[in-house]
Amino acid sequence: MHDRSALGPADVDDATLAAMLATLYDAGDAAVAVVASHAEPVDYDLPAITTGGRWWVRGVAAVDGHERDFTLFVKHVHEWSRSPFFADLPPEVRPWAAKQVPWRTEGAVYRSDLGSRLPDGLSMPRALGVHPIDDLAYAVWLEVVPSVEVAWDRDRYERAARLLGRLAGSAEVRAVAGIGGHEWDITRYVEGRLRFQVLPALADDGLWQHPLVGPAFGDLRPRLEEAAARVDAIAAELMAMPVLAGHGDACPNNLLVRPDRDGFTLIDFGFFTALPLGFDLGQLLVGEVQLGRGDVSELGARGEACLASYRAGLAEEGVAVDLATLRRAHALQLLLFTGLSSIPFELLGEEPTDALRAMAATRAAIARHSLDLVDQTS
């Protein structure tokens, strides 16, 4: 009747599960019992360094004597020192690096009242429980929210950008932007991933001879190296922009389209915090393109449309920003967080195929777009 063994240490006892189901069903004083349950992994192929697993937990509950089917989503979150990717770091930097990724933030967000603070059109799943596993891990148990699989056309991108502008500008959201308790700013990223991985790689002559890199990125080498030499100045300029609030990883994959077609459900709050103006526009615009699921030729026109929509969302929340400042902030963010690291480092050990060459060409187009945008806004 019960098999939740797939959850491993993320599982809870039946009494705790019953209590969460009572919350799910708003059962009040009614008796709730778990009749049957099983867990199965979620089919999800995008790795995340702080995620130990994702599962569906399905079953039957007795609520006040009446049986009801249920499905919950469970996510195991841990410090990234437990990720297999952590072993790729030099041993001497591991203690420092382990503290750089805010793995506790998602749990803090789901324990908070952020859901009641979000602007109309945005929502988040209700957390039924955030349960510690040990000192470096916890499990989040969430309701399953309705969503629809639809194409992201220009109109949908613009609606998402407007709502992300409202999220950034909302005084109520900004009031809880530090809820994760993790001290982070742009320099953490520069001193972390860029300084240890990306910048040394860009300075390596051998990288530019790789069959996935040379043909796609070769003409960009001088521009990327020049940007790498100015990385501290780029970061300082971005940090001088107005600081608002941001989801931190607002790619379409983390903006579930609601069945009402007008709104989105935000998920994956690991990087929710106070962020510079326009920060969320970067992943909104290039997240799908990086994965080979979007048209790179649309970046320019779609970006301009989303900038205008984001600015309109800010204005709805009483935050007035001139378009030139917003465009510059977006350009800096896109270059720093995407353009400089567009080379597909994770694929360089694989045999080049036509598909990988096409992905490298797409990544190069993103890098070129980010570099052009910085030049145009300087």
**pLDDT tens per residue across span 117-138:** 999 999 999 999 999 999 999 9
In terms of Cα–Cα distance, which of 199, 170, 129, 168 is closest to 343? 199
Tokens of 368: 């070129």
Q: Select from 72, 100, 134 the last residue of a domain.
A: 134
Q: In 10 A of CB 295, how many CB atoms?
A: 10
Provide the percentage of residues in the chain whose pLDDT is more than 70.
100
Number of residues assigned to the chain: 378
| 257 within 8 A of 288, measured Cβ to Cβ | no
What are residue 256's phi and psi, to 5 degrees? -70, 130
Residues 306, 212, single domain; the answer is yes
- Nearest-Å Rg of the Cα atoms of the chain is 22
Structural domain range at position 165: 147-377
Of 26-30, 190-194, 272-276, give the range with the top mean pLDDT.
272-276
Q: Is residue 13 part of a domain?
A: yes
The pLDDT value given to residue 85: 83
Examine residue 199 and state whether it is found in any structural domain, yes or no: yes
For the cut 90, the answer to whether the pLDDT of residue 197 exceeds it is no
Instruction: Specify if 122 maps to a domain.
Output: yes
Confidence check: pLDDT of 59 > 90 = yes
Specify whether 80 is located in the same domain as 169: no
Last residue of a domain, one of 112, 134, 156: 134
Say how many domains are in the chain: 2
pLDDT, tens digit, 9 for 90 and up, residues 332-341 = 999 999 999 9
Checking if the pLDDT of 87 tops 90, the result is no
| Nearest CA-CA partner of 74 in 118, 28, 23, 9 | 9
Position 140 in a domain: no
Are residue 41 and residue 66 in the same domain, yes or no?
yes
323 and 210, same structural domain?
A: yes
Looking at the DSSP bridge assignments, the partners of residue 41 are 55
pTM: 0.94
CB 255 within 8 A of CB 306: no
Q: How much is the pLDDT for 262?
A: 79
Q: What is the pLDDT of residue 118?
A: 97
Collapsed DSSP state (helix, strand, coil) of residue 177: coil
**What letter would DSSP give residue 336?**
I
Which of 196-200, 214-218, 257-261 is most confident? 214-218
In tens, the pLDDT along 21-51 reads 999 999 998 999 999 999 999 987 777 889 9
Instruction: Mark whether 55 and 151 lie in a shared domain.
Output: no
Residues 126 and 153 in one domain: no
The pLDDT score that the predictor gives to residue 42 is 95
Q: What is the CATH number of the domain that holds 187?
A: 3.90.1200.10
Residue type, 8: G
Q: Are residues 113 and 152 in the same domain?
A: no
Q: Which of 110, 134, 158 is the last residue of a domain?
A: 134
Residues 6+ apart with CB under 8 A from 226: none
* Average pLDDT of the chain, as a whole number: 93
Checking if the pLDDT of 209 tops 80, the result is yes
pLDDT (0 to 100) of residue 203: 94
In a domain, 319, yes or no: yes
Based on the fold, state whether residues 195 and 313 are members of the same structural domain. yes
Which pLDDT does position 12 carry in this prediction? 97
